[in-house]
């Protein structure tokens, strides 16, 4: 009989905290997976179409405090009716972890830290005192998984060392594919959010489109209104076709990133990454990655340089290949299986 795994996510939308468990469900077929989302998102139907069991505690797309108690109440009701072997909690509201611990029968609780600041709030640089106290309470009641070295170190510094604290770096299920030609296209994938660098991408495309007519622009995500010069692609878990269209990914995020899946995806398809040297980015690409920049102005200059004859794209491709091998998906899966068993 298959072991039953419950994955708890904040919202069934196209973001890293949802993409990650969806890929686990697809690749770890020997387990009986269920995804429960606190709020309904735009990826819900596609998750169901993949054959993954998924339920939303609240059907509204709105994440706000007016639904806080209702969300908790529905989780309590859900966990009282259902029984699992493992509850795998992915970032987004640590009150849910406490409830899972209090209500568990035989379940093993896994607390997966996907964000760079440990609590999953990209806008917060430091851990608030209340969250720190809760995390200290949870410290020895869960198996905690950090997605990157800098996340692990932040947890140890802020919360303390615990016996069941694991490091399992993020990975993506794509083998490296060397790029033999250019598409003269740059792109952005993610949310319409300042911290994630979306508006920086829009400003860059505005500037480039004024004088660089041969470069095309693509965005993939949920955006209220696309610019005329940007080709909009609807989000999907099948991202291969997006990365095959672009040569450069604009990732000018200033958020506390854990180990961004979008960068790992881009590297697998030999797509260059224009980014700031923040912790999660540097841990993947290294401090001397040639496309790291310090400002939007430098980003525009770097894009122009990338398409010039002076840029060594062959050497960049070697870096991408080495990085892609370093973050191995099968190794990540085997590490998780070890914890599940």
Domain shared by 158 and 12, yes or no = yes
> Are residues 192 and 161 in contact, defined by beta-carbon separation less than 8 angstroms?
no
Within a domain: 310: yes
Provide the Cα torsion 285, 290, 296, 297; round to 10°: 170
Domain shared by 162 and 278, yes or no = no
Q: Among 134, 167, 200, identify where a domain stops.
A: 167
Within a domain: 21: yes
Q: Among 167, 194, 214, identify where a domain stops.
A: 167
Within a domain: 112: yes
- Report which DSSP code applies to 292: B
Domain shared by 147 and 48, yes or no = yes
> Are residues 166 and 144 in contact, defined by beta-carbon separation less than 8 angstroms?
yes
What mean pLDDT, rounded, does the chain reach?
Answer: 91
Give residue 41's pLDDT.
93
Within a domain: 72: yes
Non-local (6+) Cβ contacts of 179 within 8 A are 247, 269, 270, 271, 317
Average pLDDT over residues 262-286: 97
The number of distinct structural domains making up the chain is 2
Give pLDDT tens digits for 131-163.
Answer: 888 888 888 888 999 999 999 999 998 888 778
Domain shared by 67 and 103, yes or no = yes
Give residue 103's pLDDT.
81
Domain shared by 84 and 45, yes or no = yes
- For the chain, what percent of residues have pLDDT higher than 90? 66
- Separation of alpha carbons 323 and 54, rounded Å: 33
pLDDT > 70? residue 80: yes
Domain shared by 217 and 147, yes or no = no
Domain shared by 22 and 142, yes or no = yes
User: Where residue 124 sits, what CATH number does that domain have?
Assistant: 3.40.50.2000
User: Between residues 278 and 106, which one has the greater pLDDT?
Assistant: 278
Residue 99: CB atoms within 10 A of its CB come to 17
User: Between residues 123 and 40, which one has the greater pLDDT?
Assistant: 40
Average pLDDT over residues 263-280: 97
- Separation of alpha carbons 153 and 161, rounded Å: 9
Query: pTM higher than 0.85, yes or no?
Result: yes
Within a domain: 229: yes
Give pLDDT tens digits for 7-56.
Answer: 999 899 999 999 999 999 999 999 999 999 999 999 999 999 999 999 99
Within a domain: 179: no
pLDDT band of residue 124 (cuts 50, 70, 90) is confident
> What are residue 138's phi and psi, to 5 degrees?
-80, -15
- Separation of alpha carbons 10 and 94, rounded Å: 10
User: Between residues 226 and 153, which one has the greater pLDDT?
Assistant: 153
Within a domain: 175: no
pLDDT band of residue 225 (cuts 50, 70, 90) is low
Structural domain boundaries enclosing 59: 4-167
- For the chain, what percent of residues have pLDDT higher than 70? 97
Within a domain: 153: yes
Domain shared by 12 and 154, yes or no = yes
Non-local (6+) Cβ contacts of 143 within 8 A are 108, 109, 110, 111, 164, 166, 339
Give residue 192's pLDDT.
86
Domain shared by 42 and 139, yes or no = yes
Domain shared by 9 and 138, yes or no = yes
Average pLDDT over residues 254-266: 93
Give residue 172's pLDDT.
97
Residue 297's alpha-carbon distances to 200, 214, 216, 246, 304, in angstroms, are 10, 20, 19, 21, 11
Interaxial angle between packed helices 149-158 and 129-138, expressed in degrees from 0 to 180 and rounded to the nearest 10 = 100
Q: Among 167, 195, 226, identify where a domain stops.
A: 167
pLDDT > 80? residue 108: yes
Domain shared by 245 and 136, yes or no = no
Domain shared by 129 and 101, yes or no = yes
């Amino acid at each position: 009989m298959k072991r039953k795994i419950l994955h708890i996510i904040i919202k069934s939308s196209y973001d890293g905290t949802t993409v990650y468990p969806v890929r686990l469900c697809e690749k770890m077929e020997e387990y009986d997976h269920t995804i429960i989302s606190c709020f309904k998102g735009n990826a819900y139907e596609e998750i169901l179409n993949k054959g993954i069991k998924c339920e939303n505690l609240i059907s509204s797309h709105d994440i706000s405090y007016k639904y806080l108690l209702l969300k908790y109440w529905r989780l309590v009701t859900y966990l009282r009716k259902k029984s699992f072997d493992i509850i795998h909690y992915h970032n987004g509201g640590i009150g849910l972890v406490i409830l899972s611990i209090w209500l568990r029968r035989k379940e093993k609780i896994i607390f997966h830290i996907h964000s760079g600041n440990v609590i999953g709030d990209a806008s917060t640089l430091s851990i608030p005192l209340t969250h720190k106290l809760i995390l200290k309470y949870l410290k020895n009641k869960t198996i905690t998984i950090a997605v990157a070295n800098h996340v692990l170190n932040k947890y140890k510094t802020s919360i303390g060392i615990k016996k069941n604290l694991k490091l399992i770096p993020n990975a993506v299920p794509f083998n490296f594919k060397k790029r033999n030609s250019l598409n003269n296209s740059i792109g952005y994938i993610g949310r319409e959010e300042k911290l994630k660098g979306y508006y920086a991408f829009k400003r860059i495309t505005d500037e480039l489109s004024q004088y660089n007519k041969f470069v095309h622009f693509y965005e993939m995500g949920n955006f209220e209104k696309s610019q005329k010069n940007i080709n909009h692609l609807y989000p999907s878990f099948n991202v291969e076709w997006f990365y095959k269209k672009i040569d450069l990914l604009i990732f000018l995020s200033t958020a506390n990133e854990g180990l961004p899946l979008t960068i790992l995806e881009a590297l697998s398809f030999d797509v260059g990454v224009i980014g700031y040297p923040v912790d999660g980015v540097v841990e993947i690409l290294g401090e001397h990655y040639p496309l790291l920049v310090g400002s939007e102005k430098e980003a525009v200059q770097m894009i122009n340089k990338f398409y010039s004859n002076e840029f060594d794209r062959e050497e960049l491709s070697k870096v991408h290949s080495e990085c892609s091998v370093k973050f191995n998906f099968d190794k990540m899966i085997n590490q998780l299986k070890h914890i599940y068993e």
